[in-house]
Structure 1
Amino acid sequence: MNSKAVLPAIAGSAVILVSLFVLFITLMAVIAGRSWSLATGLVGLIMLAAGAFFIYMAYTATRQEKMGDARYHNMERQVLTLAKKNNGTVTVADLINVGIESSEAEKVLDRMAKKGICDINLDATEASGITTYSFPTLIPFEQDEKAAKV
């Protein structure tokens, strides 16, 4: 569970527990025939609804995090597919051409480079002026041999 979801989950649980106590007191007041039982019952129900709202907020935060992770992994798969087609190299412009936004493309490629999935190809970047990301495991064997002979 992410940090955005922990606080609402704890707050929601606490409010629900307190509301259950208030509803128990209301039940005892109804049994005893007290006139204030209606007011405490309404307070208990309002607290129960507030607790449920906090739990829903925690659920929503967790779902958003999972959706973000799924979106990133989908983009990562698209990058790897494109790298395989391009003999192991990808640029931000290549990703923009397949429909990924510029800022997202840079983030995905930089994150993949930090993870060690790809390298920033400094030689190609210096030659073209465009940051080129190289995926060594996707470079065809013949091309690897030619580079080693040079």
Structure 2
Amino acid sequence: MPNMVQVGDGGIDGVGRLLTKPANVDSDLAIAQVKGGMWKAGDFRDFTGRIPILPAATGTYITLHPVTSRAAHAEAARLGVLRMDGAAQTYPRAQLWSIVDCFENRPPRLPPLANPYTGQAMQQELLQLFQAHTGGEVVAWV
């Protein structure tokens, strides 16, 4: 869901809710920030710094081109992972995801999201939208 505040939002471009709250984080908020040009290390550090402050369970930093910086990936990993009750699968609290990933059929790694209007699981809807836009077939949606 787009962020309607736009001013004083700390650069957050999208917000959503996880279907269930993670076992190890006291939040079900998912946030996203989109960078249309070149990414900047300081902007990414600011973004990852906001995740625990909001608090958000997870954040996805979306870029036009893949971020290859080891330091950026280390910064994302610093926040650790989400652990969902009853599931062996873990998800990153912070991740870098590019439009190139989209076109190469690599969706972001997110736990099931809640539809903002119904509160019901939304992952399948996202999968269908992703497939429609990429023309690709997703083998696994995590």
TM-score normalised over the length of structure 2 = 0.26
Structure with a larger share of its residues in strand:
2
Q: Which has the higher helix share?
A: 1
Normalised to the residue count of structure 1, the TM-score between the two structures is 0.25
In our comparison, the structure showing a higher alpha carbon Rg is: 1
